[in-house]
């Protein structure tokens, strides 16, 4: 494993607690997507306690006739704990880990299936082939002559109900700031998996598209991944892969002939390169309670943060109430008046009879700036959080607005949390409340303009303006 992310040891304890909450949140509402090889996760995973954020762009040839090239913007959310890990689309528990081998139990997303935003003519009239969610077991062993890997995955979403066994070999080359990993993966796939994604059912057959079931088969993938350390914190990454689908899959009338090529490139930042100022016992905890209302039509995030709109909905208005728990990651980032805090939160949606109420689970990293000229008198924090939001049910404010625009929805979306707050103790002259803050924020869910398959290719989302109290214990 190439480890470009590494946190200091004294940050591991507080991140482990954060990671445990994150794991619970993601397992409850994990979305469906592509059963990838966890290439980005393995490439960026660091020492226990590491965490980071980044972005990657991926392009791959569609396996379907006329599908062209698929483009995908993939946000990278990374956490590597002693026992828990999150690698963007894969989350799991380390059952066994030492210097030589590792055994993981995980849930992963599968990107196979029909494109959410563009369907070629070859698939016209066919039922949707949805992305699936896999549970799996992964074993890896590191040797001087290379790395061995075996994984078993089974669909738990109920779409394909298929299984896959992957066997892989990789070798790590290092030269200065550059690390390369070539790899070979052989995937044995059962009939249910192949028939679902590449078969044509009798009711879908046409004169030019006969009924066909490919059955089981073996796919092979050759890949080359790379990481380059630009600095102590920044990493560039990239890779290219070529997948040869089994002959029986390529014989399907909806599958194009030839190999499937994919490339990706991106960047990530390691929050663990900065010296911390506390240990496990002294690590503070942020506790925040909030209450908010959905915004009026046209009152989008840019207008809100630029103070051009602060209207909440008067018709079909919905509510949120929640709690967020945070742990500090960095104090005085690069010597600036900027603190970094990791949060997990639970929101309750009150859709006021318009839809069934549901929970929303958020995990994000938030930066606070407090360098205002008056902050020594009244401490003022301007914050921006970035992360993931997983909804038990798509909130009414999203489903209704997306239906009007003829757009899809997703339970998993990107999460933004801009806010501003003031020290209650400084405002009223109470030392006991100096670390208690009163503020206003926006709970924003969006799909990054429909550019991310991880987020369901959703273009749109929701905004709630909320008030809150936060105390640092």
Return the domain boundaries, the chain: 9-272, 286-472
Q: Please spell the DSSP secondary structure of 311-324, one letter per residue.
A: PBPSSS--EEEEEE
Measured over the CA atoms of residue 467, residue 358, residue 313 and residue 414, the dihedral's sign is positive
Nearest to 340 by CA among 280, 290, 384: 384
Q: What pLDDT digit, counting tens, does each position of 266-312 carry? A: 998 877 665 555 555 567 899 999 999 999 988 989 999 999 999 99
Q: Does the domain at residues 286-472 carry the CATH identifier 2.40.160.20?
A: yes
Q: What pLDDT digit, counting tens, does each position of 6-29 carry? A: 333 344 344 343 433 333 333 333
Say yes or no to pLDDT of 414 above 80.
yes
Alpha-carbon distance of 126 to 85, in angstroms, equals 37
Q: What pLDDT digit, counting tens, does each position of 83-107 carry? A: 878 777 788 899 998 888 999 999 8
The burial of 205, by beta-carbon neighbours within 10 Å (0-12 exposed, 13-18 middle, 19 or more buried), is given as middle
Percent of the chain with pLDDT over 90: 58
**Phi and psi angles of residue 402, each rounded to the nearest 5 degrees, phi first:** -70, -35
Q: What pLDDT digit, counting tens, does each position of 421-451 carry? A: 999 999 999 999 999 999 999 999 998 877 8
448 or 180, which is more confident? 180
Q: What pLDDT digit, counting tens, does each position of 108-130 carry? A: 888 888 876 678 999 999 998 98
Question: Hey, do 9-272 and 286-472 end up sharing a CATH topology, with the first three levels equal?
Answer: yes
Measured over the CA atoms of residue 155, residue 160, residue 162 and residue 166, the dihedral's sign is negative
39 or 471, which is more confident? 471
**pLDDT band (50, 70, 90) for residue 64:** very high
Q: What pLDDT digit, counting tens, does each position of 244-260 carry? A: 999 999 999 999 999 99
Say yes or no to pLDDT of 5 above 80.
no
pLDDT at 108: 86
Overall size of the chain counted in residues: 473
Q: Residue 425 belongs to what H/E stretch?
A: helix 424-428
Say yes or no to pLDDT of 75 above 60.
yes
**pLDDT band (50, 70, 90) for residue 3:** very low
The half-sphere exposure of 189 on its side-chain side, counting CA atoms within 13 A, is: 27
Q: What pLDDT digit, counting tens, does each position of 133-179 carry? A: 899 999 999 999 999 999 999 999 889 999 999 999 999 998 999 98
Cα–chain center distance at 82: 20
pLDDT at 13: 40
Say yes or no to pLDDT of 49 above 50.
yes
Q: 9-272 maps to which CATH number?
A: 2.40.160.40
Q: What pLDDT digit, counting tens, does each position of 226-245 carry? A: 999 898 788 899 999 999 99
């Amino acid at each position: 494993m190439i480890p470009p992310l590494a946190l200091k040891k004294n940050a591991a304890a507080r991140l482990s607690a954060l990671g445990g909450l994150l794991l619970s949140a993601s397992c409850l509402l994990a979305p469906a997507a592509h059963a990838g090889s966890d290439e980005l996760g393995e490439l960026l995973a660091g020492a226990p306690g590491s965490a980071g954020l980044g972005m990657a762009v991926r392009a791959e040839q569609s396996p379907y006739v006329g599908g062209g090239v698929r483009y995908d913007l993939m946000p990278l959310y990374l956490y590597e704990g002693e026992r828990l890990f999150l690698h963007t689309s894969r989350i799991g528990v380390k059952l066994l880990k030492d210097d030589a081998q590792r055994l993981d139990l995980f849930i992963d997303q599968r990107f196979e299936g029909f494109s959410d935003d563009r369907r070629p003519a070859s698939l016209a009239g066919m039922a949707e082939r949805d992305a699936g969610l896999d549970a799996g077991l992964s074993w890896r062993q590191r040797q001087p002559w290379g790395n061995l890997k075996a994984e078993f995955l089974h669909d738990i979403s109920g779409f394909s109900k298929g299984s896959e066994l992957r066997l892989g070999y990789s070798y790590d080359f290092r030269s200065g700031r550059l690390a390369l990993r070539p790899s070979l993966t052989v995937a044995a796939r059962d009939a249910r998996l192949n028939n679902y994604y590449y078969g044509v059912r009798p009711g879908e057959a046409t004169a030019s598209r006969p009924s066909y079931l490919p059955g089981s088969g073996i796919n092979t993938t050759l890949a080359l991944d790379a990481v380059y350390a630009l600095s102590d914190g920044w990493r560039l990454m990239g890779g290219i892969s070529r997948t040869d689908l089994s002959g029986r899959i390529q014989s399907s009338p909806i599958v194009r002939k030839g190999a499937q090529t994919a490339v990706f490139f991106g960047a990530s930042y390691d929050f663990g390169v900065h010296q911390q100022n506390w240990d496990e016992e002294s690590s503070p905890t942020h506790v925040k309670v909030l209450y908010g209302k959905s915004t009026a039509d046209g009152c989008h995030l840019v207008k809100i943060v630029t103070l051009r709109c602060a209207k909440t909905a008067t018709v079909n208005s919905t509510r949120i109430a929640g709690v967020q728990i945070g742990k500090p990651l960095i104090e005085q980032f690069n010597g600036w008046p900027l603190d970094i805090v990791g949060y997990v939160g639970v929101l309750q949606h009150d859709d006021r009879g318009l839809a069934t109420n549901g929970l929303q689970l958020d995990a994000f990293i938030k930066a606070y700036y407090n360098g205002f000229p008056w902050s020594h008198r009244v401490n003022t924090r301007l914050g921006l959080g970035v992360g993931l939001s997983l909804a038990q049910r798509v909130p009414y404010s999203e489903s209704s607005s997306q239906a009007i625009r003829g757009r899809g929805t997703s339970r998993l979306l990107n999460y933004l949390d801009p806010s501003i707050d003031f020290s209650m103790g400084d405002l009223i002259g109470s030392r006991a409340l100096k670390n208690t803050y009163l503020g206003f924020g926006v709970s924003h869910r969006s799909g990054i303009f429909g550019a991310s398959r991880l987020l369901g290719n959703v273009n749109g989302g929701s905004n709630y303006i909320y008030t809150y109290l936060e105390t640092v214990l």
